[in-house]
């Protein structure tokens, strides 16, 4: 019987390198399932699922298996373990949910390494969008950034091989590799009609979840905290950063940067929201056969009234959308940037006995006011775009807008919002 250790998760994609904007949940949400399907079994057992529901007819699959065994020109290529894993992956893929995935042992190992914040690769996060593999962003100073990979690039080939028929996990497996080895990506930059070939040397990269700094303004210093993921140690780093800001009584406001944060532990989203909201719900989780679950703030608030802005963009997803959505619903923060990714589902991660794992969608979530962001995303209060040209020129108009709002009460977006900005006192 497979191990049934299970974790819920909230994320959009797997980092190609080490960044990680992964998926997971916190300890209070970890549990052992009472019964879990054993998706990987010994070849020839005649079953892929224990007690398949509705007496599923598996005769077609086993007929194909036998025909391959009897007729394929190279019998040595018919590895029963690979065939069984392929059948199980096909079963899961047939559900049609991009977030319900069976990860083989190698991919599962890389996934867990990425959640710890370190592995070998190129340093970029990818997502699958409209059946295309799209770059969310390269990491600062990463091999991907140095080679010219840009946000919104579409990857067409890896080492000359077209990837249009592959899953995101399969593409990532091809891109990752040992430190010091090259990988060539054929990409289309946004609005370009000609492909570009980028050869990138893989490196070992360790990336902290949190980046902080202090921004001086005429009205006083602002704290800046960028959270790249809700991973294993992310909230420990967040608490340390907030404690450092508290040592400076002159801090006039805080910028929480959730751009390119693709998600992570659900309780991390709950805990982060709790730093800025003293009372109320954080998120409503609606499961298949359970009553709706309301996750509320913890009561351990660090900054209940400090002026706050939150930066989001197309790479902000799931757990980061929960935080942005809750802070927006409560009017606690001004949300600035671009509409977020729009992932409104929760996954369990079930570890199987052979080293593989099954990620399966088990719930949908809603903001405190009952809004679903699935495919819709969080719409910012102030819309500000950051173009590829801005990235190349190292300009950040979204951050500039957040600074302007906190320091001057100004909406510097092209589309002015109604209402009067409240100046800091």
d(CA 195, CA 127): 19
Exposed, middle or buried: residue 134 (CB in 10 Å: 0-12, 13-18, 19+)?
buried
Task: Find out whether 225 and 242 touch, Cβ atoms under 8 Å.
Answer: yes
Residue corresponding to tokens 């800001």 = 245
The beta-strand segments (E) located in 258-367 are 263-264, 281-287, 293-296, 308-312, 334-337, 345-351, 357-366
From 114, 343, 381, 413, active-site residue:
343
Residue corresponding to tokens 């059948």 = 87
Q: State yes or no: is 8 an active-site residue.
A: no
From 146, 296, 329, 400, active-site residue:
329
d(CA 269, CA 20): 16
Which helix (H) or strand (E) segment holds residue 266: the answer is helix 266-274
Encoded tokens for 62: 């086993």
Which helix (H) or strand (E) segment holds residue 105: the answer is helix 105-115
From 114, 316, 318, 357, active-site residue:
318
Sign of the C-alpha dihedral, residues 394, 398, 402, 408?
positive
d(CA 410, CA 422): 9
Task: Find out whether 220 and 233 touch, Cβ atoms under 8 Å.
Answer: no
Output DSSP code: residue 408. H
Collapsing DSSP states into helix, strand and coil, what is residue 405?
Answer: helix
Q: State yes or no: is 411 an active-site residue.
A: no
- DSSP of 72-108: -S-GGG--HHHHHHHHHHHHHHTT--TT-EEEPHHHH
Collapsing DSSP states into helix, strand and coil, what is residue 223?
Answer: strand
Q: State yes or no: is 343 an active-site residue.
A: yes
Give the rounded distance of the alpha carbon of 3 from its chain centre. 25
For the annotated catalytic residues, the residue numbers are: 318, 329, 343
């Amino acid at each position: 019987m497979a191990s049934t250790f299970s974790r819920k998760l909230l994320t959009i994609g797997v980092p190609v390198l080490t960044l990680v904007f992964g998926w997971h949940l916190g300890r209070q949400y970890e549990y052992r399932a009472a019964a879990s399907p054993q998706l990987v079994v010994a070849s020839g057992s005649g079953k892929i699922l224990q007690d398949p529901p509705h007496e599923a007819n598996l005769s077609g699959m086993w007929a194909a298996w036998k025909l391959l065994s009897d007729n394929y020109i190279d019998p040595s290529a018919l590895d029963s373990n690979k065939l069984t894993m392929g059948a199980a992956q096909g079963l899961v893929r047939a559900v049609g949910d991009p977030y319900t995935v069976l990860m083989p042992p190698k991919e599962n190992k890389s996934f867990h390494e990425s959640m710890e914040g370190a592995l070998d690769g190129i340093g970029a996060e990818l997502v699958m969008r409209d059946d295309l593999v799209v770059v969310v962003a390269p990491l600062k100073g990463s091999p991907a950034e140095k080679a010219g990979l840009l946000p919104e690039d579409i990857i067409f080939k890896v080492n000359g091989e077209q990837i249009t028929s592959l899953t995101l996990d399969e593409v990532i497996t091809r891109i990752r590799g040992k430190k010091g080895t090259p990988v060539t990506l054929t990409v289309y930059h946004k609005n370009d009609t000609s492909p570009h070939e980028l050869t990138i040397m893989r490196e070992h990269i360790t990336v902290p979840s949190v980046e902080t700094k202090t921004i001086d303004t005429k009205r006083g210093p602002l704290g800046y905290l960028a959270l790249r993921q809700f991973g294993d140690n992310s909230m420990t780093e967040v608490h340390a950063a907030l404690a450092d800001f508290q040592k400076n009584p002159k801090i006039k406001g805080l910028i929480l940067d959730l751009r390119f944060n693709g998600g992570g532990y659900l309780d991390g989203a709950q805990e982060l929201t709790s730093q800025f909201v003293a009372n109320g719900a954080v998120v409503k989780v609606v499961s298949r056969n359970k009553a709706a679950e309301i996750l509320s703030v913890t009561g351990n608030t660090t900054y209940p009234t400090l002026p706050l802005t939150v930066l989001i963009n197309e790479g902000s997803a799931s757990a980061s959308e929960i935080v942005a959505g809750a802070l927006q619903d409560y009017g606690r923060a001004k949300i600035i940037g671009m509409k977020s990714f729009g992932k409104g589902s929760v996954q369990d991660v079930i570890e199987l006995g052979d080293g593989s794992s099954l990620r399966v969608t088990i719930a949908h979530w809603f903001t405190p006011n009952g809004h679903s962001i699935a495919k819709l995303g969080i719409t910012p209060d102030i819309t500000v775009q950051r173009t590829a040209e801005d990235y190349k020129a190292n300009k950040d108009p979204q951050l500039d807008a957040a600074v302007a709002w906190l320091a001057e009460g100004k909406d510097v977006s092209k589309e002015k919002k109604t209402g009067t900005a409240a100046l800091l006192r």
